[in-house]
């Protein structure tokens, strides 16, 4: 009998791959970006899509715009575009941007900007953005309708949306709440066709804002604040008479000494400056043609070595003849003493200027008139030059930037140490000056574009003197410089240069070294308020400075070289500087200022530049002065292209001037 029924097993059958069930599909996988990009069709009609402009704006303007809210639609300004047809038929595009003056972010910014287009057209510069994937719009009807209407999805998100917390379930792991990201894809927003450089227009508003920024940058981060002042009536100071009287015999530090008879003081005269001695010698030679050394020593009471060294600059010693061992003027200087008596000065001439009968007293107060007489305004011997004369402007020419703000900061710090804060008054002075200057520019006729001659431009520049005088009057009435002595200003100028607050332009040291080696004479004519401050900045060099000066009472007066030392003689405009330049040239025996070489950087130098062998110092050929010269018909080449030292040229550094042929003077016969 057979066993239980046997069932033959079937061979193994491999399952069909299509029968494997699909894994659950994640919602995000449906909208995942596959990485495909949209390519720009350069042959298709893209319209404004392919004609975008990329502008490079200043850093401070970008920071102001960066503070604006991202989702708000704000009108920041307007742009103007116009085309100019060139003579060759080509079209040149011009752009200008005007910021909205109602925005608070624009109050400390220049409002007008020139958008300068680059010469080359951008080839492969694109702007990319992101957009929602098309399939995601079907997830929400509200988002679909908004997308079809062109409304960005971010505007649909509630601003004050709060997340509802689910009740905590015991035994359930906590999971943080997060908003589900909207799937995006990369999209080309625009193609850059032109690159623009955004530069503020050089007008009164821009200059005032720039000057205000310079003042803020130079303001010290740490200031001294006097919390309390204690009366010093009961304090015995070391070394005072009260200290000696009370404690002089407290400790014996040395053996008692015998009383000695005081030595008789010698009556020594004060040494004169070289400029004063030169003036005195010229005055002496106007009276008598021949002088003995013994008479000159008795007349001026100066050391013989110093007297002889100074005398050799203007006079010669006769070796033979009836006037042997007597001094007379050099041949080229005798025309300045034509009225002198043709004989040797008598012994009585030595006593003409004696002051033995004058009793000198020590005084505490020194009037401004005496101070003006005592200060050293460089006087040069009245002689024709044997060497070239270089005359330079100071602010912006020798220095890299204007130093009026630095000078004002010195006065503010001086008053701060005395417990007086005048910073708000100085800010008001700057604002009032900007308003007056802008009013003169806006109301003057003809306007700048219509002033095509030197005569019209000089009339406009000379009209600024009233604006400058009003500003000086405000400075004087504010008391910023009241009580500051000339020595303090000189030391402050030297300190500012050493600390880097005042920087000299590249190549100035090399120019001064070349002038010293070749015997060139160097002078400075400036509208700066303080000659002593300039002397301090240039203390390492021997330079004759003609500039205004700050008096002890805080007023600002003009230099004596330009006339009487009063406000009416102050150097403020280009006309004033030319008058001072001519007076300086006459003192040096130069009849024609065209033989001088003048260096300047602003419109206050325009008359001096055109009257001499002028050199415009500018970082590029598009400065305000260069544009003004071209507008009135003067072409100013680079010093590299000047073949002869004539006319006006421009250079960015003094090194370029030294390397050119501009200073290749020929000795006259």
The pLDDT value given to residue 533: 96
Q: Largest alpha-carbon pair distance within the chain? A: 179
The alpha-helical segments, DSSP class H, found in 312-380 are 368-374
CA atoms within 13 A on the CB side of 611: 17
Q: Per-residue pLDDT tens for 341-388?
A: 888 888 877 665 544 444 444 444 444 444 444 443 333 334 444 467
Rounded Cα distance between 79 and 96, Å, is: 6
Sequence-distant (6+) residues with CB within 8 A of 431 are 208
> Phi/psi of residue 208, each to 5°?
-65, -40
* 3 state SS of 214: helix
What average pLDDT does the structure give for the chain? 79
631 vs 189, 221, 440, 449, 639, CA distance in Å?
A: 42, 43, 19, 8, 20
Rounded Cα distance between 272 and 296, Å, is: 14
**Which two structure tokens, joined as six digits, stand for 165?**
């917390």
CB atoms inside a 10 Å sphere around CB 317: 14
> What class, spelled out in words, does domain 274-351 have in CATH?
mainly alpha
Sequence-distant (6+) residues with CB within 8 A of 537 are 399, 403, 493, 494, 496, 497, 502, 504
Write out residues in the chain with pLDDT < 70, as ranges.
1-50, 119-123, 134-144, 147, 149-172, 176-182, 229-242, 244-269, 350-387, 561-568, 643-646, 665-669
Rounded Cα distance between 203 and 211, Å, is: 12
Residues 645 and 664 sit within 8 Å (Cβ to Cβ) = yes
Which candidate, 283, 267, 285, places its Cα nearest to that of 275? 283
Q: Given the DSSP bridges, would you call strands 112-117 and 91-99 parallel, antiparallel or unpaired?
A: antiparallel
CA atoms within 13 A on the CB side of 375: 33
The pLDDT value given to residue 32: 53
The pLDDT value given to residue 580: 92
**b or e along 293-312 (b: 16 or more beta carbons within 10 Å of the residue's beta carbon)?**
eebbeebbbbeeeebbebbe
**Which two structure tokens, joined as six digits, stand for 199?**
């530069």
Residue bearing tokens 């040239």:
585
Domain boundaries, the chain: 47-152+179-201, 274-351, 384-401+482-659
Rg (CA), the chain: 40
Tell me how far the alpha carbon of residue 510 is from its chain's centroid: 21
The pLDDT value given to residue 41: 65
The pLDDT value given to residue 29: 54
The pLDDT value given to residue 627: 93
CA atoms within 13 A on the CB side of 489: 28
CA atoms within 13 A on the CB side of 161: 9
Q: What is the pTM of this model?
A: 0.46
The pLDDT value given to residue 230: 61
* 3 state SS of 448: helix
Q: Omega of the bond prior to 239 within 30 degrees of 0, cis? A: no
Percent residues over pLDDT 90 in the chain = 32
The pLDDT value given to residue 273: 82
The pLDDT value given to residue 643: 62
**Which two structure tokens, joined as six digits, stand for 2?**
């057979």
Rounded Cα distance between 592 and 613, Å, is: 11
Q: Which CATH architecture has domain 384-401+482-659?
A: 3-Layer(aba) Sandwich (3.40)
The pLDDT value given to residue 374: 44
* 3 state SS of 389: strand
Residues 471 and 433 sit within 8 Å (Cβ to Cβ) = yes
List, edge to edge, every strand of the sheet that includes 613-617. Answer: 544-546, 521-525, 389-392, 597-600, 613-617, 649-651
The pLDDT value given to residue 44: 59
């Amino acid at each position: 009998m057979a066993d239980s029924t046997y069932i033959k097993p079937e061979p193994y059958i491999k399952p069909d791959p299509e029968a494997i069930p699909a894994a659950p599909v994640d919602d995000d996988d449906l909208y995942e970006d596959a990485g495909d990009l949209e390519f720009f069709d350069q042959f298709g009609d893209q319209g404004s899509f392919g004609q975008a402009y990329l502008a490079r704006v200043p850093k401070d303007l970008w920071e102001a715009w960066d503070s604006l809210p991202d989702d708000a639609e704000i009108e920041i300004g307007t742009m103007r575009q116009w085309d100019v047809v060139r003579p060759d038929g080509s079209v040149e595009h011009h752009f200008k941007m005007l910021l909205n003056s109602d925005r608070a972010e624009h109050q400390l910014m220049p409002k007008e900007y020139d958008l300068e287009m680059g010469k080359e057209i951008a080839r492969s510069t694109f702007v990319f953005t992101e957009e929602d994937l098309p399939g995601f719009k079907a997830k929400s009807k509200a988002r679909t309708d908004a997308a079809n209407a062109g409304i960005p999805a971010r505007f649909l998100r509630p601003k004050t949306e709060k997340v509802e917390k689910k009740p905590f379930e015991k035994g359930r792991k906590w999971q943080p709440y997060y908003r589900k990201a909207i799937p995006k894809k990369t999209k080309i927003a625009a193609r850059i066709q032109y690159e623009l450089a955004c530069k503020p227009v050089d007008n009164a508003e821009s200059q005032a804002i720039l000057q205000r920024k310079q003042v803020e940058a130079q303001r010290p981060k740490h200031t001294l604040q006097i919390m309390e002042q204690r009366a010093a009536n009961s304090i015995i100071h070391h070394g005072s008479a009260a200290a000696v009287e009370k404690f002089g015999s407290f400790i014996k530090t040395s053996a008692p000494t015998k009383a000695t008879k005081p030595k008789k003081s010698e009556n020594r005269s004060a040494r004169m400056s070289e400029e004063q001695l030169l003036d005195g010698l010229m005055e002496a030679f106007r009276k008598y043609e021949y002088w003995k050394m013994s008479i000159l020593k008795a007349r001026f009471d100066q050391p013989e070595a110093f007297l002889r060294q100074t005398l050799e600059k203007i006079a010669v010693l006769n070796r033979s003849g009836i006037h042997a061992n007597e001094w007379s003027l050099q041949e080229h200087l005798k025309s300045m003493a034509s009225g002198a008596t043709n004989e040797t000065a008598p012994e009585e001439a030595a006593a003409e200027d004696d002051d033995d009968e004058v009793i000198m007293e020590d005084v505490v107060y020194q009037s401004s008139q005496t101070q003006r007489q005592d200060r050293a305004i460089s006087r040069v011997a009245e002689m024709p030059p044997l060497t070239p004369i270089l005359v330079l402007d100071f602010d912006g020419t020798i220095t890299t930037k204007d130093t009026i703000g630095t000078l004002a900061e010195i006065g503010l710090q001086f008053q701060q140490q005395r417990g007086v804060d005048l910073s708000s008054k100085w800010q008001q002075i700057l604002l009032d000056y900007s308003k007056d200057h802008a009013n003169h520019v806006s109301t003057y006729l003809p306007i700048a574009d219509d002033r095509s001659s030197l005569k019209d431009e000089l009339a406009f520049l000379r009209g600024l003197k009233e604006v400058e005088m009003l500003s000086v009057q405000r400075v004087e009435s504010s008391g910023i410089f009241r009580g500051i002595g000339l020595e303090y200003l000189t030391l402050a100028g030297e300190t500012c240069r050493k600390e880097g607050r005042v920087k000299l332009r590249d190549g100035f040291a090399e120019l001064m070294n070349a002038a010293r080696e070749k015997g060139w004479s160097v002078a400075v004519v400036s509208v700066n308020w303080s000659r002593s401050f300039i002397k301090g900045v240039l203390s390492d060099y021997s330079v004759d400075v003609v500039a205004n000066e700050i008096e002890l009472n805080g007023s600002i007066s003009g230099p004596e070289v330009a006339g009487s030392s009063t406000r009416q003689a102050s150097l403020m405009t280009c006309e004033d500087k030319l008058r001072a330049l001519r007076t300086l040239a006459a003192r040096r025996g130069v009849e024609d200022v065209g033989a001088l070489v003048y260096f300047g950087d602003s419109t206050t130098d325009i008359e001096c530049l055109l009257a001499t062998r002028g050199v415009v110092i500018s970082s590029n050929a598009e400065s305000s002065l260069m544009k003004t010269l071209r507008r009135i018909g003067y072409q100013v080449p680079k010093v590299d292209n000047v073949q002869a030292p004539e006319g006006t040229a421009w250079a960015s550094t003094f090194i370029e001037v030294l390397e050119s042929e501009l200073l290749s003077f020929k000795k006259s016969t």
